[in-house]
Structure 1
Amino acid sequence: MLLRRRHSSTPPTCAARYAEGCRNSELLRRELAARGLAVSERTVRRFLQQMRENNKPTTRPPVLKPREVTIVLLTHPDNREEADRTMLKELRDRSHDLDAASTLISRFAKILVHPRGRERLEQWVQDAEASALPELRGFASGLRKDWDAVVASLSMHWNPGPINRIKMLKRQMFGRAKPALLRKRVLLTR
């Protein structure tokens, strides 16, 4: 940038003023004129534009949406992709609460997939109730309220799938069909 000085003893202060936070080209031009520099406003605007481009912050990592974090947390540890494992490790390093939640959720997922008795579930519920996370404390207290059903669901080798399918069909047909049609639909959609 070429600046014509009226008085050669006064150095240009554009960069210093920019560093101080001055981003107004007209104000900066007036300050330079008061110091004896003949500069057009267009030149000052170009200088400010160049400074903005040079001082752009480095690109930040993308901000994760809560849903993305939830999906990674709730995915079974054995089914997580490598990128998700790396992201979860970084998140766990940043937040103690997220680390505690991830640990408890992973333990619960393992209990669901590989039920090994009531003791592991009992210990998990105690740990969740003692945690500082209100969501997991509430979930654990909900499990306590229906404890017998929870333990039975983990210990019995019984599949509720057919019953759930029949209930779904009944809800779909509610108010639209008589029991005979519902029976036919249940029997024919196997």
Structure 2
Amino acid sequence: LMENASRAFLDAVRKSMRQIRRTIGATVVNPALLTAAEKLQYEGYLRREETNAAVLALWQDGVPIKQIVRRTGHHRMTVRRIVRGERGDVFRPRQSSLEAHLPWLDAQWDAGARNASALWRALRMSGFQGSVRVVLEWATRRRRAERTDASSLARVPSARTIARLMTIGRDNLTKAETVAIAAIESGVPTLVEAREIVADFHAMIRTKRAELLSSWIERASSSLIASLANGVRRDEAAVHAAIISTWSNGQTEGQITRLKLVKRQMYGRGKIDLLQARLIGAQL
């Protein structure tokens, strides 16, 4: 029964794959899920935000920049950047001489001009004073970004992988897996509901609380695992007996697994006489 419930959840994931593909890219990273290095950057951002708020409060009260520098102890250029609104980003980008030319470069790149040296020569004609290396680095970053975007779209986890990641503990997931599952849970709430219904079914079997079966069927009938609920309803008496019964086919399934393991270990030599000698004869 528990295996059938797990298969039903896998089928629910497969039904939701189109919706999952639409939502898995639109992800907002939770600061609690950042790596150690990213946490340091985020903590620095929070400290900058506190500094920005203090400087802006003084500026809005009419305090001149020179007085703000004396009161806060920050550099004059830092105070000026805060007043101009230049320190509001989480990850501060490195200032580049290409800033003024980026719209033109983006337009040329989208039009198919991918030769960095040619782009640099055209920029020189318009007054750009930087070296060709600056444009080469910009072009390299653009190519890497495009390859990364293409590979991320092609690496959407399979339905089986998503079902596994959604049913194991969060402590066993990597940061990327955690972010992906968080995006799926926020974008496909019906899948989260199906997971909870399957988990309740497993708990009902483990605790042998057969009196919850009827209410569980009604709840599951309107979810993504309605097919499982319909099957349980057709054999409700048998499922009820399986939940409360002390008998189990676990011993049979265990012996079948052992038999398959021994047969595969013999690389095609597992005829009936050899299997009998290894399994039955070994127990005598």
TM-score in terms of structure 1 length: 0.58
Query: Are 1:47 and 2:134 counterparts?
Result: yes
Contact 2:220–2:229 (8 Å) recurs in 1: yes
Cα 1:149–1:74 change in 2 (3 A) is: farther
Cα distance in 1 between the residues matched to 2:252 and 2:281 = 11
Cα distance in 2 between the residues matched to 1:170 and 1:83 = 32
Deviations 1:29-88 (A, max 9, x none): 5644665x599xxx54x232332567776x99x86733333123344xxxx35355x935
Cα distance in 2 between the residues matched to 1:33 and 1:89 = 47
Partner of residue 176 from structure 1, selected from 269, 272, 283: 272
Question: Shift of residue 155 of structure 1?
Answer: 0.8
Cα distance in 1 between the residues matched to 2:237 and 2:281 = 30
> Structure 1 stretches of 5 or more lacking a match?
1-11
Question: Shift of residue 126 of structure 1?
Answer: 1.7
Query: Are 1:107 and 2:200 counterparts?
Result: yes
Percentage of matched positions with identical amino acids? 18
- 5 Å matches for 1:43-122? 43-44=131-132, 46-52=133-139, 65-66=157-158, 67-75=160-168, 80-84=169-173, 87=178, 91-117=184-210, 119-122=211-214
AA matched with 2:194: A
Deviations 1:96-150 (A, max 9, x none): 1222122212211211211212x3122122211112x2xx112222223333322
Partner in structure 1 of residue 220 of structure 2: 128
Deviations 1:138-170 (A, max 9, x none): 222222333332211101011323333556678
Structure number with the higher helix fraction is 2
Partner in structure 1 of residue 32 of structure 2: none
Contact 2:116–2:136 (8 Å) recurs in 1: no
Query: Are 1:151 and 2:151 counterparts?
Result: no
Cα distance in 1 between the residues matched to 2:200 and 2:213 = 9
Aligned residue pair count: 160
AA matched with 2:272: R
Contact 1:130–1:137 (8 Å) recurs in 2: yes
Cα distance in 2 between the residues matched to 1:38 and 1:161 = 76
Contact 2:117–2:135 (8 Å) recurs in 1: no
Mark the structure with the bigger radius of gyration.
1
What is the RMSD computed on CA atoms of the aligned residues?
A: 4.4
Question: Shift of residue 14 of structure 1?
Answer: 3.8
Partner in structure 2 of residue 188 of structure 1: 283
TM-score in terms of structure 2 length: 0.42
> Higher relative contact order at CA 8 Å, sep ≥6: structure 1 or structure 2?
2
Partner in structure 2 of residue 160 of structure 1: 249
Question: Shift of residue 17 of structure 1?
Answer: 1.3
